[in-house]
Amino acid sequence: MPTAPRVGEDFMGFLGYWTALQSFLTYSFGWTRHDRGLRWWYDAGRPTVDPRLALINAVWERDGNLLPYTEWCHDRLSYFDHQALAEGTDYDPTPDDLSGDWTRTLAEVRGDQIPRELSPHGKHLEGGDHAAGPASSTYRGSIALIDRPARRAVYTCESVMGWYRGLVELSAELPELGDSSWHVDVYVRPIGFLGTYRQSRETGLWFAGQHRHHTVGN
């Protein structure tokens, strides 16, 4: 896992650390509003029942950097309308009305900010360009129907580049299921198994894990 950035280290280390979190929340949870999803997680008592939430807790929260990322997301909402998953969705950059506790928490984070060179501020993460590889229009992948009654299919992609876009586009070739969803096992060759993905009928986005953990970040 990427280690927390430290003063004096190479800029690419900082960029990799924040981009890993941004990409994870975008392409696994299927979140367009990271600020909303992370506030839900804190308000719910930082649950770790989902192994992905446990990973967030074990890395970025343990490092003390998840609240600075949440503050950055809230601060930069109006710049996210051209991020990968905002395309084709009803992305709304309007900040949520925050509770008094969250207003104070984010103000404290801004006032006690980690050094700017270590924070997500100033890394040009707003458009998701550094984490845009999975949404690239260039991909080499295939999808196969495995079990129609069980609504199972397998999608494989030869590289990290474009794997998410390939899932979105190639899944459209699967037979229509009406009110049901396909369960697609996703494999990216350089990484391995990324999870079983479904398309939300509520958001239209593909995500892994439980639907309730997808909708909280949209």
Question: 96-123: per-residue pLDDT in tens?
Answer: 999 999 999 999 998 876 777 788 888 8
Supply the Cα-derived Rg of the chain in whole angstroms: 18
Tens digit of each residue's pLDDT (9 = 90 or more) over 50-67: 999 999 999 999 999 999
Residue 95 phi, psi dihedral angles, 5° rounding: -60, 145
Question: What distance, in Å, lies between the first and last C-alpha atoms of the chain?
Answer: 26
pLDDT at residue 87 greater than cutoff 80: no
Distance CA 186, CA 173 (A): 16
Cα 100 to Cα 97, 103, 106, 212: the distances in Å are 9, 5, 10, 25
Q: In whole angstroms, what separates CA 203 from the centre of its chain?
A: 14
Cα 185 to Cα 35, 123, 151, 206, 207: the distances in Å are 28, 33, 11, 12, 11
Query: Quick one: pLDDT at residue 162?
Result: 93
Query: Quick one: pLDDT at residue 178?
Result: 85
Q: Which residues pair with 186 in a beta bridge?
A: 155, 195
Distance CA 84, CA 79 (A): 12
Tens digit of each residue's pLDDT (9 = 90 or more) over 167-202: 999 999 999 998 899 999 999 999 999 999 999 999
Residues in the chain: 218
Torsion of CA 68, 73, 76, 79, to 10 degrees: 140
101-123 burial, b for 16+ CB within 10 Å, e for fewer? ebeebbeebeeeebeeebbbbeb
Residue type at 89 in one-letter notation:
T
Q: 21 by DSSP, 3-state: which?
A: helix
Q: Are 50 and 208 in contact (CB under 8 A)?
A: no
- CA dihedral for 88, 94, 100, 103, sign (positive or negative): positive
